[in-house]
Structure 1
Amino acid sequence: MGAVSLVVLLGCCLLFVPIIAWSSDATLNDDVLGLIVFKANLRDPRDSLSSWNEDDSNPCKWVGVKCDNRTNRVTELNLEGLYLSGKIGRGLLQLRSLRMLSLSRNNFSGGISPDLLLIATLQSLDLSQNNLSGAVPDAFFAQCRSVRSVSLAGNRLSGEIPLSLSSCSKIASLNLSSNQFGGAIHSDVWFLNGLRSLDLSFNFFSGEIPAGIDKLYNLRTMSLRSNRLVGSLPANLGSCSQLNSVDLGQNLLSGELPESTRNLSACASLRLDRNSLTGGIPYWVGEMRALETLDLSSNQFAGAFPDSIGELQQLKELNISANALNGTLPESLSRCKALLDVDFGGNNFTGELPRWLFELGLRRASISGNKFTGSILIPTPVTTPSLLALDLSSNAFSGEIPVELGSLHSLQLLNLSRNSISGSIPGSLGELNGVEILDLSGNQLNGSIPPEIGRAASLTSLWLEKNSLTGEIPNQIAACASLSTLMLSQNNLIGSIPESFVNLTHLQTVDLSRNRLNGSLPKWLRRLPQLLSFNISDNLLSGEVPGGNFFAAIPLSSLSGNPSLCGSVLNRSCPPVLPKPIVLNPNSSSTSVAFSSSSDLRHNKIILSISALVAIAAAALIALGVVAITVLNFRVRSSGRSHSAASFLVPPDDSSTRSPATNPNSGRLVMFSGDVPDFSAGTHAVLNKDCELGRGGFGAVYKTLLRDGRPVAIKKLTVSSLVKSQSDFEVEVKKLGKLRHPNIVTMEGYYWTPSLQLLIYEFVAGGSLHRRLHDAAAGVLSWQQRFDIILGMAKGLAHLHHLNIIHYNLKSSNVLVDPFSGEAKIGDCGLAKLLPMLDRYVLSSKIQSALGYMAPEFACPTVKVNEKCDVYGFGVLVLEVVTGKKPVEYQEDDVVVLCDLVRAALEEGRVEESVDPRLMGDFPSDEAVPVVKLGLICTSQVPSNRPDMGDVVTILELIRCPQEASSPREDLS
C-alpha cells in the first residue's frame, strides 16, 4: 500500500472512531454530532470554529450557533464570512430544528447537495458568494416544503432552473443572481404566487420573458438585469401593482414601453437601460409619482422629453443619456426638488445651460455630448455646495470660464472639454481643493497656466491639451502630489520641464508633445516609479535622453521631432563638449591664432585676449595628448600584449583612473577566449553614458561592439574600495569565467586596476525579466514562456550550486531573457564573493534593490548564509513570474508582500485567482497550481524546509510531464 493511501486510510479511521463512541452514549446531542461531522469536512484557516468542542453537551455557545432556549436544539447556523472552504457535508441533516442556515461569503466548493432542503423545519437558506458549481439537481427544490427564502447568488452554478422550483409554493424570496444559469426562463416561475422578491440578474438566460407575470400579484422587486433576453417588455407588467423595483437593464429587449407600466404607482425604481427600446418617452411617465430612480439610458428613444417629468417630486436619480432625444430640457425639472443625479448626455438637446442645474442641490450633473450653446452662466450666490461632478463637455459653449466655478468647493470632477471656450484659465480654479479630474482640453483657451492650479491639492488628472496656452509650465503643479495624468500637448508652451516635477511620484501618463519646450530632459525622469507613457515629441528639446528604467523601452515616436535629442535610446551619439572653436583671422597677414570678430574684420588686427591664450594652450595640450595616445596605441598593437589592450577600456571622463597613456602597465585585460578585443565604437564609446544599459547594486552596465560586430556588455564595478586584492579578485573572476551553461550569462573577460574593475559579459538582447513582467510596452508573457523561464532559472541555479557558487543577489532585474530562444539567463552570478568578506552590512547597502527577494536569515547574524538563501529568492521569482506582481508593492496605506498574498490565497482555496489576470485564464491549472505551491515551499521561513535546486528542477519537469511519474506531483496538487 502506498504512503498516500495509508495516510488517507488512517485519516478515515480517526474520523469514524469518535462517531462510534458517540453512538453508544444515550445522552448524546444529535446537533453536536451533526456539527462536528460537518466541521470535519472543512478547512478553517483562521480557526474560527475553535469553540466547536465535541465534549460539550450542547452547541448553543458555539460560534455561529443559536438554539431554542427551551429545547437547546439548534435553530440558526450563521457562518457568514469566516473564510471556510471544503464541501457542504451531510452532517447538517442532523439539525432537526434548524430554521435558518447561512454559509454565505465563504469558499465552499463542489455541487449543490439535493438533500439540503430535507430539513423539514428549514425556512431560510443562504449559500451566496461561494465557489459552488455545476447544475442544481431537480430534486433540490422538490423538497422545499416550508422554505421561504433561498439565495444561491454569487457562485458558478450553471444549467437551467429546475422545473421542480414550482413546488416551492411558500417561497417568498429567490436569488439566483451572478451565476452561469442559461436557457429560457420557464413560465412555471410565475406560479410562485407567494414570491415577493425575484433576482435572476447577471446570468445567461435567453429567449423572451414568458407571459403570465401578472400572476405574481405579491411581487415587490424583480431583477432580470444583464442577461440575453429578447423581445418586448411584458404587456401586462403593470398588473404587478405592488412592484417597488423593476430592473430589466443590460438585455436585448426592444419595442416601446407598454401602456400598462403607468399603473406601477408604487414603483420607486425603474431601470431599463442598455436595451434597444424605441419610440418616445410617454407623457404618462409623470403619473408614476413614487419614482425615485428612472434609468432609460442607452436605448433608442427619440423625440422630446415630456414636460410631465416635473410631477415626479420624489425623483432622485434621472438618466436618459445615450438616446436620440431632442429639443430643450423641460423647465419643469426645476420642480423636482429631490433630484441628486442627472445625466442627459449623448442626445441632441439644444438651448442654453439651464439655471436649475445649479439651483437644485445636485450631486452629479452631465449634459455632455449635446448641442447646447451660449456662455456658461452660474447664478450667484452659488447654491450647489454639494455638487461633486459637473460634465459640460462636447457641446458648443462659448465665452470664458466663469470665475464662480471656484466656489464649487465640493467638486471632484469638472469637464468642460471639446467646446469653444476662450479666454484664460481663471486662477480661482485653484480653490477647487477637492477636484480630482480637471479637463479643459479641446477649447480655445489662451494665456498661461495659472500657478494657482497647484493649490488643487487633490488633483489626479489634468487635461489642458489642444488649446492655445502660452508661457512656461508652472512649477506649482508639482504641489499636486497625487497627480497621475498630465496632458498639455498641442499648445504653445515654452521653457523647460520643471525640475520640481521630481516630486510627482504618482505620474503615470504625461503628454507634452507639440509645444515649443526647450532645454534638456532632467535625469530624474527615469526615477519616477510609476511612469508608463511620456510623450515629448515635436518640441525643441536637446541633449541626452536618460537611459535605463522607463526610457529603455520608450517608443521612438514619443521622442520624435526633437532633432537635438541624442543618446543610446535614439541610437544617436551626443556630440562631445568641446572648447570654444579657435579660428584664424582671414584678414590678418600674420599666422598668429586669434578669435575672429567683426572688429577684427574691420580693422584687420589680430587680438590675442587672455581667453584666447588659454584656449591656445588647451588646444596644444589636446593635440599633444592625441599624439601621445596615437603613439601608445601603435606600440600596443605592435607588441600584441594582452594587458595593454586595456587602453580601449578606460573611460575618458573617469578622473579616478590613471590613463594607460601615461602608465601602460597600470591595467590588466584578460579575455577567456584568448582574443584581445578591438572595440569598433572606439575608446570613448565603451563606457559612454549613451551606451549605458542600466545600473544595479554592484555597478553600471554598458553596451559596446567588437570589431567583428559582436556586442558585449561591460559592467563597471562601483565597489572598488571594497574589492579584494588583484590576486584574490582574479581567482574569483576566473572561477566565474569557467561557467558555461545555457541559463547563465557568460563572462567573457575582465579588466583590473587598483581603482577600476570591469567585467565583460555576453550581450543578451531581450532585456531583463523585470521589464518583461512589469513594463506594459513589453507585451504579455504566455504561460508557456513563463514556465520555460522558471525552469531555465532553476536549471541555471542548480548548476551554480553544483559548483558551490552562491548567487546572493537573485532578483528579476538580474535575470535576462533571450529574445530568440526564450531561455532565462541568470546574471551577476557570485559577484558578492568579490568583496573582502561577505558582510551583511555590505550586502544590505549594496543590494537594496533585492528587497523582497532576500531570505529572512539575512537579518540574523548567527545564521550561516548558504544555498538556501538562493532557493528563497528563486521562490519569490516563481511567484513574481506566475502572478505578474512585484515582490513588495506599496499601496496608499499598506505594504503588500507577495509571498503573504499568495499564501493567503492558497489557504482560502483561490490560488488560481492569483495567476496574472493578463493571461485571461489561458493557462493550465494543473501546472499553475503546483508551480505556485512550489514557489511557496521555496520561500519557507525555515531554511531546512526549502528543497535543493536539483530537486526543484526534477519537480518542475514532472509538473510539465506528469506521465513520467506521479508521486512527487501529488505532493503539490
Structure 2
Amino acid sequence: MRNFHGVLFQFYLLSSLLLSSWPMLGESLNPSLNDDVLGLIVLKADFQDPHGKLSSWNEDADSPCNNWVGVKCNPRSNRVSDLILDGFGLSGKLSRGLLQLQFLRKLFLARNNLTGSIIFSFASLSDLKVIDLSENGLSGSIPSDLFTQCGSLRSISLARNKFSGPIPESLGSCSSLASLDLSGNQFSGQLPLGLWSLSGVRSIDLSDNMLEGEIPKGMERLNNLRVISLRNNKFVGEVPDGIGNCLLLRSIDLSRNSFSGGLPSSMQKLSLCNNLSLSKNGFTGEVPQWIGEMRSLETLDLSENNFTGQLPDSFSKLQSLKVLNVSKNALSGSLPESMSSCVYLVAFDVSHNTLTGSLPSWMFKLGLERVLFSDNGLSGNIDTAFASSMENSRKKLVVLDVSGNKLSGEIPSAVGDFGSLEFLNMAKNEFFGSIPASIGQLKTLIVLDLSENQLNGSIPLEIGGVTSLNELRLEKNSLVGNIPLSIGNCSSIMSLSLAHNEITGSIPASLAKLPYLKNVDFSFNKLTGALPKQLANLVNLQSFNISHNQLQGELPNGGFFNTIAPSSVSENPSLCGAAVNRTCPTVLPKPLVLNPNSTDATQETIPQNFNRGKKILSISALIAIGAAAAIVIGVIAITVLNLRVRASKANPPVAFTFSGGDDFSQSASSNGDSGKLVMFSGDPDFSTGTHALLNKDCELGRGGFGAVYRTMLKDGRSVAIKKLTVSSLVKSQNEFEREVKKLGKVRHANLVALDGYYWTQSLQLLIYEFVSGGNLYKHLHERSSGSYLSWNERFNVILGVAKGLSHLHQMNVIHYNLKSSNILIDSSGEPKVADYGLARLLPMLDRYVLSSKIQSALGYMAPEFACKTVKITEKCDVYGFGVLVLEIVTGNRPVEYMEDDVVVLCDMIRGALEEGRVEECVDGRLQGKFPVDEAIPVMKLGLICTSQVPSNRPDMAEVVNILELIRCPSESQDELGDVFN
C-alpha cells in the first residue's frame, strides 16, 4: 500500500490537469484510498514550509483526521471539514488540491506569504462556508466565475493582498453571504450592482482600494447591514438616500473619498449607529441639526470637509459621544455651552476653523483627554477655564493645543495641576508675563511649545524637573536671563529652540549631558562667552544655530562642529574657527616649568608623584612654614652631601625617573644634571599605576624620530609620550625648548596637540594628546583589521588633513614628514596630523639627515630634496599631501614593489588619466559606492599637488578651497573648472 500511494502521489504532481478525475481514478484503483489525503499532500507540495508546521502531513497515512496539524474532520463522515493554517509562515501558491476536499466547510490561510493568482473556482466545494485568504501576497484579477454557485458561503475575506481589477459580478450569487472583506487591495472600477442583492450581508469592507464612480442605487435592500466601510477610495457624488433605510447600521466609514453635497437627512433614522466617519471629503453646507437624533453616536468625525456655520446645539443630545472631530472646516461662531452635557466626551478637536469667543468654561470639567483648539480666532484669557477645572479632570488631560489663536493674559500656574499632560502647545497667541514655575510639576510632559507670544522674565529653573521632555520651544518671545543649568536634567530632550529672545549669559556645559539632542536654535539672542568644548560629544546633533549673538572663542573640535554650516555661527564677531573663516588667536597659559635643581624662588620642585597641592595660607602660617623649611633644608643639605660621598662611584637617578625594570630606565648624565618638565597647560599629574611611563607594554609604535608610549594622567585623560631617539642630533637645550614651545602654540582640530616636554642632555620626551582611533595607514592597508573607510569618510580625512596643513603653514611650520602613518583618526572619525615640525629639532635641515631619518616616507618626498640648490618650503608638504590623496582614493601605497617592477602611484594615476580610465583606479572596495563627480576631481587635485615644479603646486589654503568646491560644486562651477582645465 505504501508503494502504491507514493507512485500515485507522484502521478498527481506530474499532471494537475487530471485532478478533476481523481475521485473516479482513486475508486477504480483502490476504493479505500482517501481523496482528502491526496488533496492535502498535493496542496503541501506547492507550499514551502520553513518552520516545519506541516511535518505531520504524511502521504502514507490512510486518513488526515488523526493528528494532522491544522486539519479538522467531521466525526460522522471522517472527512476534512476545516483547514486552519493561519500564521504558519507558508509560502508558495494555492494548489488545485483544495478541490479534492469535497466536504470542506472552512478554509483559513490568513497571515502567510502565499503568492500568485487564484486560477480556479470554488464552485465544486458546495459545503464551503468560510474563505479567509487575508494578509498574503496573492495578486492578479479575481476569476469572473470564482464565486459561481457559492450559495453556501457565509464569509469571504481577501483583505490585504495585491488583487486588482474589478470586483466580479458573480459575487451577487453568494446569497447567504454575511461578511465581505476585500479591503487593502488594488481593486478598481465601479461597485457591482449585484452587491446590493446580498440582503443577508451584515458587514462590507471595501476600504483602501481604487474603486471609483458613484454608489449605485439599491442600498436600501441591505436590511441586515451593520457595518460598511468604503474608506480611502475614489468614490464621487452624493451619499445615496437609501442608506437611511439600513436601520441596523452601527458603523459607517466613508472617509478619504471625493463625496460632495450635503448629507442625506434619512441618516437621522440610524439611531443605532455609534460610529460615523466622513472625514476628508468635499461635503458642504451646515452641519445638520438632525445629527443630534443619532443618539447612539460614540465617534463623530466630520473633519477636513467644507462644512460651514456653527456647531449645532443639538450635539448636546449625544449623551454617548466620546470622540468629536470637526477640524479643518469653515465653522464659525462660538462653541455651544450645551456641550457640557456630553459627559463621556474624551477627545474634542475643533482646530483649523474660524471659531470665536473665549475658551469655554466647561472645557476642563468633562474629564477630556485630548483638547485641540488650534488655529481659530479664540480670544480673552484662560484663567476662568483653568480655574473651573475639576480635580478628577486634571488627572486625565493628555493633550492640550490652543495654539494659533488670540488668547491673552498670563499663563495660569494651575497648568501645573494637569499631571498627566504629555503635549502642551500654547504657541502663536498673545500671552504675556513669565513662564510659571509650576511647569516643572509636569513630569510626563513630552512637548512644550510656548513660542511666538509676549512672554518675559527668565526661563524657570524648575524646567529641569520635566525630565521626560523631548521638545522645548520658547522662541520669539521677550525672555531674559540665563539659560538655566537645570536644562541638563532633561535627559530625553531632542529639540531645543530659544531663538529670538533677549537671553544673556553663556551656553551651559550641562547641555553636553543631553545624549539625544538633535536640533538646537539659540539664534538672535545676547549670549556671550565661549562654547563648552564638551558639546563636541553630542553624537546625535544635526543642527546647532547660534547666529546673531555675542559669543567668542573657538568652536568645539570634533563631531558635528567640524561640519557646521557657516550660517549657523554667523554674526558672532568674536567667534573663531574654520566655520566662520576666522583664525583663532593662540592664547596659552604661562608654561608650568618644573626644575628640581633651580635656585629660582619662582620655580617649584617636582614631587615624586607629580602632584601639586594648592592652598592659600595666612601670613603667620607662611612665616612658621618658612622657619621650619629653613631647618629642614639645612638637614636635607647635610644628608645629600653625605649621600653623594657614599654614592660617588654610582650614577644618581634623575628627578624625573622612568622605572619599571626595563631598558628604558634613565639616569642622569655624568655632570649630574636632572630633568626639566614643562607642561603648556595644567599640572603634570601622571598616574602610572603599576606601569612605568615608558613601559614596553604601553608602547604604541615606533617611527623615524622615536618610540611612542601611552600613559594616564590623574584626571583619567590619556596622553602619548614620544621618546626621541635622535638625541645625538638634537640641538642645545635652549634651541630645543624654543622650537618645542613654538610647536606647543600650534592648535587646530586636525592637528595632534603638543601638551609639553621633558629635557635632559641624554633624554628628550614630547607629550602629546592621545588619539584613540589608530593611524590612517592601518585603515587603508591592513585589511585584516576589518576596518573599511567609505568614500565620505575618505573625503573627510582628505579635507581635514588639508585644513590641518593649511593651519601649520599659517603658523610658519613645515611638516617635512607627511605620510599615512602620521595621520591619526580620532574616535569620531576626524583626522589629526601628527609629528609635524620635528625636523626643526635637528641641528640643521640637512637633506641627508632628513632622508636617512625619515626613510619610511619613501614616495612622499618632494623631488627638491634631491637638489641642494632648491629651497625646502611648504610646497614639500603640498607634494606629500598630493601623494597622500592618491593613496586614500586608490587604497594603494605610494610605491608598490612587484616581482619584476616598481610601481610609483603618481605615475600610474597620471598614465590612467591620459588614457581615460582614471575611474578604474579608485579603491576596489568602493566600486559602485562613490560619486564619480567627486572622486575624479580629487585625484586630479592630487596630481596637481605632485607637480615636479614647486611653483606649480597650489598652497594648502587653495587646496582647502578646491576641496570645498568639489564637495559643493554648484557654488562655483566655473571656478572649479578653471582649476582642472
**TM-score w.r.t. length of structure 1:** 0.63
CA displacement, residues 471-518 of structure 1 (integer Å, 9 cap, x when unaligned): 222222222222111121111222222222222111222222111222
Structure with higher Rg: it is 2
Residues 691, 703 of structure 1: 8 Å contact kept: no
Code of the aligned partner of 1:459:
L
Residues 235, 260 of structure 1: 8 Å contact kept: yes
CA displacement, residues 804-839 of structure 1 (integer Å, 9 cap, x when unaligned): xxxxxx899x987554358999xxxxxxxxxxxxxx
- Out of 458, 481, 492, the position equivalent to 1:471 is 481
For the residue of structure 2 that corresponds to 1:516, the secondary structure is coil
For the residue of structure 2 that corresponds to 1:302, the secondary structure is strand
Residues 817, 824 of structure 1: 8 Å contact kept: no
Give the alignment of 1:638-649 within 5 angstroms.
Answer: none
- Paired residue for 2:515? 505
Q: Does 1:155 align with 2:161?
A: yes
Code of the aligned partner of 2:35:
D
Code of the aligned partner of 1:702:
V
- Out of 448, 466, 489, the position equivalent to 1:438 is 448
| CA shift for structure 1 position 554 | 3.1
Distance 1:139 1:665, change over 3 A: farther
| CA shift for structure 1 position 714 | 6.1
- Out of 742, 745, 749, the position equivalent to 1:689 is 749
Residues 919, 932 of structure 2: 8 Å contact kept: no
- Out of 93, 100, 103, the position equivalent to 2:106 is 100
- Out of 181, 189, 207, the position equivalent to 1:201 is 207
| CA shift for structure 1 position 282 | 1.4
Residues 520, 545 of structure 2: 8 Å contact kept: yes
| CA shift for structure 1 position 269 | 0.9
- Paired residue for 2:295? 289
- Paired residue for 1:405? 415
Code of the aligned partner of 1:564:
S
- Paired residue for 1:42? 47
Q: Does 1:169 align with 2:178?
A: no
Structure 2: 5+ residue stretches without partners:
1-8, 591-677, 679-702, 707-718, 732-741, 754-770, 777-796, 826-833, 836-849, 862-873, 892-916, 940-981
For the residue of structure 1 that corresponds to 2:472, the secondary structure is strand
- Paired residue for 1:280? 286
CA displacement, residues 560-581 of structure 1 (integer Å, 9 cap, x when unaligned): 222322223344322222689x
- Paired residue for 1:560? 570
Percent identical = 45
Code of the aligned partner of 1:65:
V
Structure 1: 5+ residue stretches without partners:
1-10, 581-620, 622-643, 648-653, 667-681, 738-748, 769-790, 799-809, 826-973
- Paired residue for 1:135? 141
Code of the aligned partner of 1:716:
N
- Out of 486, 490, 496, the position equivalent to 2:496 is 486
- Paired residue for 1:144? 150
Distance 1:65 1:388, change over 3 A: farther
For the residue of structure 2 that corresponds to 1:246, the secondary structure is strand
For the residue of structure 2 that corresponds to 1:165, the secondary structure is helix
Give the alignment of 1:872-951 within 5 angstroms.
Answer: none
Residues 424, 448 of structure 1: 8 Å contact kept: yes
Work out the CA distance in 1 between the residues paired with 2:215 and 2:454.
51
| CA shift for structure 1 position 315 | 0.9
Residues 918, 936 of structure 2: 8 Å contact kept: no
Code of the aligned partner of 2:554:
E
Q: Does 1:240 align with 2:339?
A: no
Work out the CA distance in 1 between the residues paired with 2:245 and 2:285.
22
Q: Does 1:77 align with 2:137?
A: no
- Paired residue for 1:416? 426
Work out the CA distance in 1 between the residues paired with 2:890 and 2:255.
48
| CA shift for structure 1 position 110 | 1.2
CA RMSD of aligned residues (A): 4.6
Distance 1:51 1:328, change over 3 A: same
For the residue of structure 2 that corresponds to 1:541, the secondary structure is strand
Give the alignment of 1:772-851 within 5 angstroms.
Answer: 819-821=933-935
Task: Using the TM superposition, name which of 654-663 and 175-184 deviates more.
Answer: 654-663
- Paired residue for 2:775? 698
What is the aligned residue count? 678
Code of the aligned partner of 1:761:
L
- Paired residue for 2:392? 383
Give the alignment of 1:195-274 within 5 angstroms.
Answer: 195-274=201-280
Residues 816, 824 of structure 1: 8 Å contact kept: no
For the residue of structure 2 that corresponds to 1:210, the secondary structure is coil
Distance 1:538 1:164, change over 3 A: same
For the residue of structure 1 that corresponds to 2:424, the secondary structure is strand
Code of the aligned partner of 1:34:
G
CA displacement, residues 649-704 of structure 1 (integer Å, 9 cap, x when unaligned): xxxxx9956999998789xxxxxxxxxxxxxxx99999832679998443686225
| CA shift for structure 1 position 543 | 2.5
- Paired residue for 2:654? none
Distance 1:729 1:214, change over 3 A: farther
Code of the aligned partner of 1:426:
P
- Paired residue for 2:329? 323
Give the alignment of 1:494-643 within 5 angstroms.
Answer: 494-577=504-587
- Paired residue for 1:30? 35
- Out of 713, 716, 722, the position equivalent to 2:822 is 716
For the residue of structure 2 that corresponds to 1:206, the secondary structure is strand
Work out the CA distance in 2 between the residues paired with 1:510 and 1:358.
34
| CA shift for structure 1 position 794 | 11
| CA shift for structure 1 position 51 | 3.4
| CA shift for structure 1 position 226 | 1.0
Work out the CA distance in 1 between the residues paired with 2:513 and 2:137.
45
Distance 1:84 1:69, change over 3 A: same
Task: Using the TM superposition, name which of 102-111 and 303-312 deviates more.
Answer: 102-111
Q: Does 1:350 align with 2:356?
A: yes
Residues 169, 193 of structure 2: 8 Å contact kept: no
Work out the CA distance in 1 between the residues paired with 2:74 and 2:510.
69
Residues 890, 922 of structure 2: 8 Å contact kept: no
Code of the aligned partner of 1:698:
N
Distance 1:730 1:158, change over 3 A: farther
For the residue of structure 1 that corresponds to 2:286, the secondary structure is coil
Residues 399, 421 of structure 1: 8 Å contact kept: yes
Work out the CA distance in 2 between the residues paired with 1:50 and 1:824.
60
Residues 12, 42 of structure 2: 8 Å contact kept: no
Work out the CA distance in 1 between the residues paired with 2:508 and 2:319.
53
| CA shift for structure 1 position 273 | 0.8
CA displacement, residues 910-961 of structure 1 (integer Å, 9 cap, x when unaligned): xxxxxxxxxxxxxxxxxxxxxxxxxxxxxxxxxxxxxxxxxxxxxxxxxxxx
- Paired residue for 1:901? none
Work out the CA distance in 1 between the residues paired with 2:276 and 2:352.
20
| CA shift for structure 1 position 734 | 6.0
- Paired residue for 1:762? 885
Distance 1:569 1:186, change over 3 A: same
For the residue of structure 2 that corresponds to 1:576, the secondary structure is coil
Distance 1:192 1:461, change over 3 A: same
Work out the CA distance in 2 between the residues paired with 1:100 and 1:286.
43
**TM-score w.r.t. length of structure 2:** 0.62
Code of the aligned partner of 2:367:
G
Work out the CA distance in 2 between the residues paired with 1:243 and 1:793.
68
Code of the aligned partner of 1:229:
F
CA displacement, residues 233-256 of structure 1 (integer Å, 9 cap, x when unaligned): 212221211111111111111111
